[in-house]
Amino acid sequence: MHTLLEALNESLSLMFALDQRLISIAILTLRITLSSLALSTIIGLPIGTTLGLAGRIPARGLIMALLYTGMGLPPVVVGLLVFVLLSRSGPLGYLEWLFSPNAMILAQTTIALPLIIGLSMAAIGSVNPSLAPQLRALGATRLQIAKTVLLETRHGMLAAIAATYGRIVAEVGAVLLVGGNIETKTRVLTTAIVLETRKGSFALALGLGFILLSLTFTANIILLRFGNWNDRRN
């Protein structure tokens, strides 16, 4: 209990003192996680929506098996694969992204994609199965059907985005492997927590943890507000 109070005091002290190292770490954390979320959402939601609306498609069982495997894939394995791809001898070595924020974004996007695809498919699957045929019978185009279904599943889609962000922001293994935890360059809140824990600075590590939770809570509040605003608009 005493350590938790110390951690809370440490986190408040760091935030109110506007510690420059903390600010730079928090900004980098937001930059990397939000970029990964944007990329995975832009790529994943259309794929999940298409698969959810498609019904019977060739090799659906294989696709689902690969998707579920991706959802449960250990992040450190993803980090290792990205590391190999971006290493000097790897096929993407010419990009020179290893130990940079770009490598961390690539790793987190790879981790997040199966999750947001799977959750968006589940959201589409929760819609009344007769909705699409009814709209089709009324002469609606595929685009109009997709827009209507997405509107019906907006809460499920927001939940998918929120869950995906939670997975991204909590990631440490892959980003530590491909980012290297380099101060002022690739050190984010999760890797800073690992470093401070190894150094024995438990109060500071827990303080950083409180700050990470605050960022996640704020992001979820923004998503919730957006969902409520969208409800009132419609």
Write down all domains in the chain, each with its CATH number in brackets: 2-233 (1.10.3720.10)
Q: How far apart are CA 68 and CA 156, in angstroms?
A: 18
| Residue 127 DSSP label | S
Of 143, 10, 121, the closest CA to residue 60 belongs to 121
* pLDDT at 104 > cutoff 90: yes
Chain CA centroid to CA 145, Å: 27
Token pair in block for residue 162: 């929120």
pTM: 0.87
224 confidence band (pLDDT: 50, 70, 90): confident
On whether the CB atoms of residues 36 and 168 are closer than 8 A, the answer is: yes
Short-list 173, 90, 74, CA closest to 98: 90
The Cα–Cα gap between 128 and 137 comes to 15
Q: Which amino acid is at 220?
A: N
Task: Please state, in angstroms and rounded to a whole number, the distance separating the CA atoms of residues 13 and 2.
Answer: 16
- Distances from the Cα of 60 to the Cα of 57, 67, 118, angstroms: 6, 10, 13
Report residue 192's pLDDT band, with 50, 70 and 90 as the boundaries: very high
For the ranges 81-85, 144-148, 166-170, 179-183, the lowest mean pLDDT is seen at: 144-148
